[in-house]
Amino acid sequence: MTVKGLTYDTIFQQAPIGIAITYSSADDVNNNFVSINQIFQQITGRTKEELIKIGWIKITHPDDVEEDISNFNKLQSGEIKSYSMEKRYIKPDGSIVWVDMVVASLTLSDEHMNNQICLVQDITERKRLERELLESERSKSVLLSNLPGMAYKCNYDCHWTMQFVSAGCYQLTGYTSDDLLYNRRLSYNDIILPKYRETLRNEWERILGERLPFRYEYEIVTANGERKWVLEMGQGIYSELGDVEALEGIILDISDRKEIENNLRYNNEHDQWTGLYNRRYLENLLANDAELITTNKRALIGINLSAVQRLSLTYGFHYSQEVIKKVAKALSLLCTDKRKLFNTYENRFVFYIKDYRDKDELIVFCEEIDKTLGTIFAAEGLGSGIGIVEIDADNKHDVGQILKNLLNASEKAIYHINNSLGFCFFDKDMEAEIMREEDIIKELMLVESDESDGGLYLQYQPILDLKSNQICGFEALARLKSDKLGFVSPLEFIPLAEKTKLIIPIGQKIIIKAFGFLNRLRNCGYRGINMSINVSSIQLLREEFNRDLFDIIADMNVNPENVGLEITESLFVDNYQEINRILGELKSYGIRIAIDDFGTGYSSLARERELNISCLKIDKYFIDKLLLLKEEEAITGVIISMAHKLGHCVVAEGVEYEEQRLYLEKYKCDKIQGYLISKPLDEDAAIAILKEKNHI
């Protein structure tokens, strides 16, 4: 090989661009490759053999073929000596490579006059950058023309002197760009609401010192006096020495968003019906105030209007809510800079009192509240309970417990017999009482979950038939004994069982225990003995109560005619129709129904005949009166006579003296129970008294 040939081959193969030499005849545009270097093969993604076989037209992008052929024809005809263009090759995998191509005629020898040399350089990356730049410029143009605000560049001075302001300035501020540029008409600082100017400047100073992005929300005043919320996002431009040369960023109109946020915040912090701040706001306020170091006294006064629920049952929900709105309006008049009113729950309000002198001041204010409520509730016949909790270093951090104590105090106040004003301070005694209630509830939960019924047991008080002078039945009485609490009175645990709804599962266990004893009596030969069981409205109003009771009776093979259920008169106050329907089902099944404590609750002679009941149990109050009144003054006999005329059996409760028994026998009372006959007994003692009094 000659030196000349060696030099040519070296240049051809090692050149940093793609080189191809082609030959074409006059009637063949798709020239044939003669020589192709390695770079050309890499750029096109094809081997020399593939390129020679396919030709250049088939690897050229269809959109570039027409221009390339046109130029090539001019080259062949001698019209031009060379041409260049940017074109695309298609690689075997379908991807595109952009090249900068130069094609020129090449004379190798007299017999090879139609040769061309093609030089290509891969410009794919350059084209990508150009495309991204173009897209960036386009996006910037679109952004600035559609920005719900304005872009800016300004000096870091006291006026925020604008060097550049986008066209969105007018829509945002009502001023043109020319108005703000270089403070020609006014500076941007002039349209910032004065109360934000200093904090805005301080925030920029902090951000620039730390070289962080700036973000801040504030209000501006537009040319027509409208206030708008804006969000400014920007950054500093620094010199090589680190000095701030300018600021640039965007300012967006966020008034709509702020309105939504404010509405959400309002709804989150206020009761919708009364417009007062709600429990959530009070909790946050108490938590924040707990962190303050102060000697000022603080207290909460809670107003419990749970009795208003009765108005809903009588007049409808809307009526009761209008009453609550009247209460809120009246109580709001008692607010001062030291008293704030909150609507924390349905039918409950709370005053947050600050900087008061002593308890006497709180009492005087409670009297004022009571007087205000009296003017509203006088016609409604309703009462209220007012609870008071003083906040101190011991309890201030437990906001949830404070509000719980307040609720407990207000509920206690409703039933506080010796408190005519109906207000009650939460104190250590009440705290101990609440702790005891919590312990009792734990015991009741144990009764529910324990298969052996925990500390629950029954005792049975005999009922004597005055005609036969024999025991005709027993009243099953629930008892509770705890390792921790000892004996717990039914007057304590029954209301708590009802309050927590634990009376439902516990009541079922009581029924099963009572039926178990009834079966034991039957096995002992006492088939005619009846069993009376107390049930509450919570049990009775359950949809499944009757069905479950009938199932238990069937499963335990109990005669329903030996079963009696005792209910209180108060059951009929709010649910007369439904209760009477349920009792009708029970009565038709053979179960006896007795009204317990008759005469002290909802006695209504007009409805007495309509009730699906079998028996009236005269309350102990009337039996005790027999010892104090002359016979002709006592109305117990009248009650017995009335009950008989209505077709009801009569049982007198709480009979303790022979004198009472003689009166009841004279006035034809059917049955009696009380300590004169026997105290409540365990099963064995109950069977023993049957053996003593009755004959099988």
DSSP letter at 80? -
**Is the domain of 529 the same as that of 663?**
yes
- Give the pLDDT confidence score for residue 6 in this predicted structure: 56
- Residue 345 has a pLDDT of 85
**Is 420 a residue whose pLDDT tops 50?**
no
Least confident of 153-162, 188-197, 256-265: 256-265
CATH code of the domain containing 23? 3.30.450.20
pLDDT of residue 373: 87
What is the rounded average pLDDT of the residues 155-181?
93
Query: Is residue 29 included in any domain, yes or no?
Result: yes
For 283-318, what is each residue's pLDDT tens digit? Answer: 999 999 999 888 889 999 999 988 787 777 778 888
pLDDT at 384 over 60: yes
In a domain, 541, yes or no: yes
| Mean pLDDT of the region 420-439 | 83
**Gap between the terminal Cα atoms of the chain:** 141
Residue 669 scores a pLDDT above 90: yes
Question: 251 and 275 share a domain?
Answer: no
Q: Is residue 140 part of a domain?
A: no
Give the per-residue pLDDT at 456. Answer: 95
In a shared domain, residues 342 and 362: yes
The region of weakest confidence among 30-39, 137-146, 475-484 is: 137-146
Quick check: 596 pLDDT over 90?
no
Does 370 fall in a domain? yes
Same domain? 217 vs 304: no
Q: Average pLDDT, stretch 362-375?
A: 90
Query: Sorting pLDDT into bands at 50, 70 and 90, what band is 143?
Result: low
Confidence at residue 416, expressed as pLDDT on a 0 to 100 scale: 63
How far CA 523 is from CA of 452, 520, 638, in Å, comes to 23, 5, 40
- What is the domain-level CATH number for residue 640? 3.20.20.450
Of 60-69, 320-329, 548-557, 598-607, minimum mean pLDDT range: 598-607
Cβ proximity of 478 and 486 under 8 Å: no
Same domain membership, residue 238 and residue 189:
yes
225 and 369 both lie in a single domain? no
Beta bridge partners of 566: 534, 594
Residues 303 and 410 in one domain: yes
575 and 681 inside one domain: yes
Rounded CA gap, 78 and 568, in Å?
A: 120
Residues 6+ apart with CB under 8 A from 89: 43, 44, 45, 59, 60, 61, 96, 97, 99
* Residue 236 three-state SS: strand
Structure tokens at 108: 């190798």
In a domain, 431, yes or no: no
Residues above pLDDT 90, as percent of the chain: 60
pLDDT score of 201 more than 50: yes
Which CATH number covers residue 414?
3.30.70.270
Above 60 in pLDDT, residue 347? Answer: yes
Residue 223 lies in a domain: yes
Query: Among 259, 280, 306, which residue terminates a domain?
Result: 259
pLDDT averaged over the chain? 88
Residue 648 has, within 13 A of its CA and on its CB side, a CA count of: 26
- pLDDT, residue 509, reads 96
642 pLDDT above the threshold of 60: yes
591 and 685 share a domain? yes
Whether residue 533 sits in one domain with residue 602: yes
Question: Which residue range is the domain that position 230 belongs to?
Answer: 147-259
Q: Residue 252: phi, psi to the nearest 5?
A: -110, 145
How, if at all, do strands 456-465 and 563-568 pair?
unpaired
Domain end among 129, 156, 191: 129
User: Going by C-beta distance under 8 Å and a sequence separation of 6 or more, which residues neighbour residue 180?
Assistant: 162, 165, 169, 173, 186, 187, 188
Neighbouring residues of 582: CB distance < 8 A, sequence distance ≥ 6: 540, 541, 545, 546
Kindly state whether residues 531 and 633 are assigned to the same domain: yes
The number of beta carbons lying within 10 Å of the beta carbon of residue 273 is: 13
Q: Count the neighbouring beta carbons within 10 Å of the beta carbon of residue 136.
A: 10
Does the pLDDT value for residue 110 go beyond 70? no
In a domain, 597, yes or no: yes
Worst-scoring range by mean pLDDT, 87-96, 250-259, 348-357, 411-420? 411-420
pLDDT confidence band for 111 (50 / 70 / 90):
low
User: How many structural domains are present in the chain?
Assistant: 4
Choose one of 129, 161, 193: the last residue of a domain: 129
Q: Read off the pTM.
A: 0.58
Residue 517 lies in a domain: no
CB contact set of 165 (below 8 Å; sequence gap of 6+): 150, 151, 152, 177, 180, 181
Tell me if 571 sits within 8 A of 579, measured CB to CB: yes
Query: Do 254 and 284 share a domain, yes or no?
Result: no
Res 418 pLDDT > 50? no
Average pLDDT over residues 258-265: 85
Please check the confidence at residue 139 and state whether its pLDDT lies above 70: no
What is the spatial distance between Cα 465 and Cα 77, in angstroms, rounded to a whole number?
137
pLDDT at 370 over 60: yes
